């Protein structure tokens, strides 16, 4: 009975508490209802200055979470609680308005365009700045100004658009363009000569992770006063890429795509089979043997080249609400090369989401990008491209039994069937890149913001190469398989504070941050084996091979896994007084494990100043000038790109083999000397520039003059004594190189009427490059010979030289003196004598260099009602190209061994010297190219769901004007041997494409 009473008592207590809670809840709901009843609704419409509705405007009750978004007609409805509430109207590109609620119930707003639109904001590294406040040499290119056409790399978007930026690209879909900013400043190749990329704040992110359609703006930081904030990786300039994001209050869905046809723009004019037979007969030569002449007439260029078809599709969507924004995109590219069995297929998937908390004080975001590419290529592409010229046109590709026709006993240059090279030696390369970036930003107090980011990037490459049983490059091997699996990973953690403060006429901005980065490279293996029973599996299963000995089972010794770490502290201060006087200073301290124990840390300072002359009172009397700013800066940045973790260490590797207890073992010994003083290359740049605007900014532009000096250049072949060091060479910092030049950029609205607009944007730059030193008190070398091109009797010759007083890419060649009475090529030797025999290497002379004196671009855009037309002309002046391809082809006396070009018909058959690489083959590399012409038509249907549809037709490489006799004058300008055409230049293409852009 007592237990029952206790249970009933507990139940009663629960009922009582529930009643109390219900009562409290009812009171709260009543209070809320009363509060809502005491508030009121304000309605209205938001328009622009032309009375057009502005959908997507965020209307917020200031200081609260209450917010709404204007609809498609610009209409809104929001509840306020009192007349003291303030409504804010916010939209990207428009001036923010704040209006007290008062007693009104209807409030229509007209928003004005902001002078600080997206195009006026430039990303400068760990922050942004308005263009008018910049004190360094910075150029910003928006998506509306990007190049169009079949583009495999975002770097191609900038070709011809930026003064001082030289981007060269062949027709090879699997080769990245070479990008040089303000001249070369290192002897090293690869990443060491490229600008440093930053994508959405992630330093060093792979540019291959982006589709061109996903890019909003690209900001190019040229001088060290701008780039020094990135310290030891910024001496070649910094390219900052910002991707497209959803605008406030708007949702978007867009599609862009094109289909394209590519053809070879120019081919070599080689002799046909009847012409070759006649040439031999006219010069008293015996007919070719049956192996070399089966009565055919084969055009090998047409046989291994093709019409390439390409397509690209990009779908993206996104949205932005009161507290979040999100987006995603998918891009698919299929680019067929014009050389058979070369192609690139790539899919890029991106997605991001940002969430804001606590009245937008805390922002959390994550971005995921993945690029998956599958490329096909030809092993020994050089052999295929050269043999399509040299191989006899008098033979057919196949024997009667279907096998590839070869004559392995033939000597000369064209000894392999080019179709066999293309069909039987294939590379399949799969690459997977993934970048995950998380970011958190917190507004600690007014003006003070902290940002933290974590990112990880994975780069996995799986390479399969198979030279099948019919391959003339792997005779009697019964198939050769080459496999490699390589993983590279990068982890980055950064945290930095931004503090902005404005008081009176003074404006201050401060930045202080820390960065940690770890790169793990070459984590994988490489294997080559041979001897397969058939070709069906290719390189998919190397275990089925049957090598007859260890010499046929080869491990790739270049794949050495390593870990590299970089730690940095950085800061920047910006001061603006009265919108007239600007000052900027930055300092970065980098520490890298790649360098010697005595030199692992380096300071990279920068300072710059600007004077906005237009803001001075005396400029009011010069109304024609609408903007004028003078800026000057100096800074120091470094180049640590392209180094591995063992660059400064004593490294041991495999030596010769020896017998060890009856077994063959690899000897291990030192292969690299230690240098505890090895450090990064350092570049100091002085820059002075003027930005101006005329006639209410109908004409704007800039002029920059710079001096760029690089010291501590790294070279890995300085001779040392083996009594002091384990090996006879060492890697050391010794060299100096200087670039100086001027850049001019103009933008003009030439014509502007209600229906027609013409804007024109020319740019031109001049750069002078000179090597100043190669030696110091310890390490001495007079010159460095480069460009060993080979050729009959020339295998030990070099065609370029690096030496003080000359530019990088300077040619040193034999001096051609014309032909003698017998039609034999003659040369001038070191003694000044004319000789008709092959000269000595000591007879070579300086003959010019590959560096262009001028790089220019000229973009024009025309808009008439719904039509638009754009064309870009670009080119270079004053550079030289060594046409070693023409030299190798010009062998009239060898016409019985290989094909010759039509130009050789004017040569004497007795000229045994015609092929020698001399200044005879050093040609002008100047050219003018209409790079792109695009005609578009935009449809804007009267539909709330379709914003615009644009149809366009585009042509790339429309024409080129040049005196260069080779395939194309746009020769690779990167690396230590620029400006050389040596039988391996993948032909440039001419492209016609049709595309559509649609936004919803």
Distances (CA, A) of 506 to 134, 234, 315, 576, 610: 16, 31, 46, 6, 15
Q: What is the pLDDT of residue 249?
A: 67
Position of tokens 């958190």?
Answer: 440
Rounded to whole angstroms, how far apart are CA atoms 530 and 553? Answer: 8
Return the closest-CA partner of residue 680 out of 590, 616, 755, 813. 590
What is the per-residue pLDDT for 70?
Answer: 83
Cα-only R_g, the chain:
34
Distance CA 380, CA 876 (A): 31
Mean pLDDT of 637-665: 82
Determine phi and psi for 381, rounding to 5 degrees. -55, -30
Check residue 149 and report its DSSP letter.
S
Q: What are 565's two structure tokens?
A: 């770490």
Residue whose entry in the numeric block shows the structure tokens 């040049």: 962
pLDDT of res. 37 = 42
Structure tokens at 327: 């987006």
Per residue in 886-921, pLDDT (tens digit) is 999 999 989 999 999 999 998 999 999 999 999 999
Evaluate if residue 248 carries a pLDDT over 50.
Answer: yes
Q: Please classify residue 538 by burial: count the beta carbons closer than 10 Å to its beta carbon, then call 0-12 exposed, 13-18 middle and 19+ buried.
A: middle
* DSSP annotation string for 897-922: TS--BGGGGGS-TT-TTTTS-BGGGE
Minimum mean pLDDT range among 504-518, 546-560, 648-662 = 648-662
How is 560-601 classified by DSSP, letter by letter? Answer: --EEEEEEEEEEEEEEEETTTEEEEEEEEEEEETTS-TTS-E
Nearest to 891 by CA among 816, 775, 792: 792
pLDDT band at 38 (very low <50, low <70, confident <90, very high): low
Local structure of 868: helix, strand or coil = strand
Checking if the pLDDT of 28 tops 70, the result is no
Residue with tokens 């394209």: 260
Pick the closest to residue 527 from 587, 465, 583, 479 (CA basis): 465
Q: Between these two residues, 118 and 729, which has the higher pLDDT value? A: 729
One-character DSSP codes across 819-832: E-TTS-EEEE-TTS
Percent of the chain with pLDDT over 70: 95
Query: Is 694:626 a contact under the CB 8 Å cutoff?
Result: yes
CA 263/CA 307 separation, integer angstroms: 5
Q: Among candidates 336, 334, 329, 324, which has minimal Cα distance to 351?
A: 329
CB 159 within 8 A of CB 147: yes
Tens of pLDDT, residue by residue over 444-495, are 998 899 999 999 999 999 999 999 999 999 999 999 999 999 999 999 999 9
Burial 289-301 (b: 16+ CB within 10 A, else e): eeebbbeeebebb
pLDDT at 4: 40
Report the SS3 class of residue 222: coil
The answer to whether 327 and 243 have CB atoms below 8 angstroms apart is no
Residue 86 CA to residue 63 CA, distance in Å, equals 9
- Look at residue 40 and tell me whether its pLDDT is greater than 90: no
The answer to whether 156 touches 173, Cβ cutoff 8 Å, is no
Give the model confidence (pLDDT) of 422-453 as tens digits: 999 999 999 999 999 999 999 999 889 999 99
* 673 contacts 725 by C-beta, under 8 angstroms: yes
| 66 vs 545, more confident | 545
> pLDDT digit string (tens) for 563-617?
999 999 999 999 999 889 999 999 999 999 989 999 999 999 999 999 999 999 9
- Could you give the 3-state DSSP secondary structure of residue 616? coil
Q: Of 415, 246, 227, whose CA–CA distance to 326 is shortest?
A: 246
Model confidence pLDDT, tens digit, residues 819-839: 999 999 999 999 999 999 999
Q: In angstroms, what CA-CA distances link 45 with 57, 60, 69, 579?
A: 10, 14, 11, 35
Instruction: Give the whole-angstrom CA distance, residue 753 versus residue 751.
Output: 7
Instruction: Name the one residue in this structure whose structure tokens are 């007859």.
Output: 548
The average confidence (pLDDT) of the chain is 89
Read off the pLDDT of residues 773-821 as tens digits, 9 standing for 90 and up. 999 989 999 999 999 998 888 988 999 999 999 999 999 999 999 999 9
d(CA 226, CA 290): 68
Across 968-982, average pLDDT = 88
CB contact set of 288 (below 8 Å; sequence gap of 6+): 277, 280, 392, 394, 896
- Flag whether pLDDT at 19 surpasses 50: no
Q: What average pLDDT does the segment 338-343 reach?
A: 94
Are residues 439 and 453 in contact, defined by beta-carbon separation less than 8 angstroms? yes
* CA 113 distance to own-chain centroid: 34
pLDDT at 68: 83
Confidence band, pLDDT 50/70/90 cuts, at residue 671: confident
Pairing of strands 927-939, 40-47: unpaired
CA distance 819 to 525: 54
**φ, ψ for residue 408, nearest 5 deg:** -70, -10
The SS3 call for residue 714 is strand
Beta pairing partners, 309: 261
DSSP designation for 875 = E
Residue among 737, 743, 605, 732 at smallest CA distance from 677: 732
Confidence of residue 114 (pLDDT cuts 50, 70, 90): low
- CA-CA distance, 730 to 673, in Å (whole number)? 6
């Amino acid at each position: 009975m007592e237990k029952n009473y206790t249970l009933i008592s507990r139940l009663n207590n629960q009922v009582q508490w529930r009643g109390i809670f219900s009562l409290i809840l009812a009171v709260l709901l009543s209070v809320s209802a009363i509060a809502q009843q005491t508030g009121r609704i304000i309605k209205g419409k938001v328009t622009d200055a032309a009375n057009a509705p502005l959908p997507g405007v965020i209307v917020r009750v200031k200081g609260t979470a209450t917010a709404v978004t204007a609809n498609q007609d610009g209409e809104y409805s929001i509840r306020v609680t009192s007349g003291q509430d303030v409504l804010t109207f916010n939209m990207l590109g428009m001036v923010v308005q704040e209006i007290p609620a008062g007693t009104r119930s209807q409030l229509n707003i007209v928003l004005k365009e902001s002078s600080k639109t997206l195009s006026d904001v430039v990303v400068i590294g760990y922050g942004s700045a308005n263009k008018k406040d910049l004190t360094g040499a910075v150029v910003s290119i928006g998506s509306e100004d990007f190049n169009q056409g079949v583009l495999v790399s975002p770097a191609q978007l900038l070709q011809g658009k930026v003064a001082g930026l030289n981007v060269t690209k062949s027709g090879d879909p699997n080769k990245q363009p070479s990008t040089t900013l303000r001249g070369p400043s290192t002897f090293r190749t690869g990443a060491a000569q490229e600008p440093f990329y930053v994508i959405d704040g992630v330093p060093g992110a792979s540019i291959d992770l982006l589709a061109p359609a996903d890019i909003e703006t690209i900001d190019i930081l040229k001088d060290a006063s701008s780039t020094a904030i990135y310290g030891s990786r910024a001496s070649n300039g910094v390219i900052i890429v910002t991707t497209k994001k959803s605008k406030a209050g708007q949702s978007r869905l867009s599609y862009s795509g094109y289909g394209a046809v590519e053809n070879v723009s120019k081919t070599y004019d080689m002799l046909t089979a009847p012409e070759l037979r006649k040439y031999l007969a006219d010069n008293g030569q015996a007919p070719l043997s049956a192996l070399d002449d089966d009565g055919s007439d084969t055009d090998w260029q047409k046989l291994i080249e093709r019409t390439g078809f390409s397509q690209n599709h990009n779908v993206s969507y996104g949205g932005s609400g009161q507290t979040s924004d999100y987006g995603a995109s998918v891009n698919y590219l299929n680019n067929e090369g014009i050389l058979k069995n070369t192609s690139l297929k790539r899919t890029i998937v991106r997605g991001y989401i940002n969430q804001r908390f606590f009245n937008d004080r805390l922002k959390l975001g994550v971005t995921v990008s993945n690029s998956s590419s599958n490329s096909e290529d030809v092993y020994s592409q050089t052999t295929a491209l050269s043999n399509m010229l040299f191989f006899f046109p008098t033979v057919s590709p196949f024997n009667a039994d279907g096998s590839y026709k070869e004559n392995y006993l033939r000597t000369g240059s064209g000894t392999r069937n080019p179709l066999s090279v293309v069909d039987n030696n294939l590379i399949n390369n799969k690459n997977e890149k993934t970048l995950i970036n998380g970011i958190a930003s917190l507004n600690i107090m007014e003006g003070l913001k902290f940002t933290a980011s974590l990112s990880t990037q994975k780069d996995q490459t799986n390479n399969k190469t198979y030279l099948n049983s019919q391959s003339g490059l792997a005779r009697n091997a019964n198939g050769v398989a080459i496999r490699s699996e390589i993983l590279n990973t990068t982890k980055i953690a950064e945290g930095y504070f931004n503090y902005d403060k404005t008081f009176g006429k003074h404006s201050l901005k401060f930045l202080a941050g820390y960065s940690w980065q770890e790169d793990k490279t070459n984590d994988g293996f490489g294997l080559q084996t041979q001897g397969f029973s058939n070709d069906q599996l290719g390189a998919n299963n190397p275990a089925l091979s049957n090598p007859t000995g260890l010499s046929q089972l080869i491990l790739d010794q270049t794949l050495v896994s390593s870990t590299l770490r970089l730690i940095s502290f950085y800061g920047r201060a910006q001061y603006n007084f009265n919108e007239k006087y600007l000052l900027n200073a930055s300092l970065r301290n980098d520490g890298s494990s790649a360098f010697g124990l005595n030199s692992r840390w380096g300071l990279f300072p920068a300072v710059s100043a600007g004077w906005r002359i237009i803001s001075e009172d005396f400029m009011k009397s010069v109304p024609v000038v609408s903007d004028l700013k003078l800026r000057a800066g100096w800074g120091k940045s470094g180049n640590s790109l392209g180094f591995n973790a063992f660059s400064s260490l004593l490294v041991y590797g495999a030596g010769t083999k020896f017998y060890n207890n009856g077994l063959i073992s690899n000897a291990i010994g030192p292969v690299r000397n230690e240098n505890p003083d090895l450090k990064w290359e350092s570049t100091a740049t002085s820059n002075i520039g003027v930005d101006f605007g005329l006639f209410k900014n109908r004409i704007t532009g800039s002029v920059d003059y710079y001096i760029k000096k690089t010291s501590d250049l790294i070279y890995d072949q300085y001779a040392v004594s083996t009594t002091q060091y384990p090996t006879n060479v060492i890697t050391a910092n010794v060299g100096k190189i200087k670039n100086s030049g001027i850049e001019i950029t103009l933008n003009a609205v030439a014509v502007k009427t209600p229906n027609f607009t013409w804007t024109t944007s020319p740019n031109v730059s001049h750069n002078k490059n000179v090597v100043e030193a190669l030696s110091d008190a310890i390490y001495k070398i007079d010159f460095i010979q480069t460009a060993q091109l080979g050729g009959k009797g020339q295998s030990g010759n070099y065609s370029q030289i690096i030496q003080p007083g000359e530019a990088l890419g300077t040619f040193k060649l034999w001096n051609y003196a014309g032909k003698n009475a017998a039609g034999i090529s003659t040369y001038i030797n070191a003694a000044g004598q004319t000789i008709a025999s092959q000269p000595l290497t000591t007879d070579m002379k300086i003959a010019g260099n590959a560096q262009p004196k001028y790089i220019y671009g000229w973009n024009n855009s025309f808009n008439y009602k719904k039509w638009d037309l754009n064309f870009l002309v670009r080119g270079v002046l004053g550079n030289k190209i060594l046409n070693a391809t023409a030299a190798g082809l010009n062998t009239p006396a060898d016409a019985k061994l290989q094909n010759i070009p039509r130009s050789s018909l004017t040569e004497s058959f007795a000229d045994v010297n015609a092929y020698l690489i001399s200044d005879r083959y050093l040609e002008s590399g100047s050219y003018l190219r209409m790079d792109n012409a695009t005609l578009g038509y935009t449809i804007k249907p009267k539909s709330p769901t379709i914003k615009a549809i644009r149809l366009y037709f585009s042509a790339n490489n429309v024409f080129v004007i040049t005196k260069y006799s080779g395939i194309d004058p746009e020769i690779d300008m990167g690396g230590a041997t620029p400006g050389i055409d040596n039988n391996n230049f993948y032909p440039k293409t001419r492209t016609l494409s049709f595309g559509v852009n649609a936004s919803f």
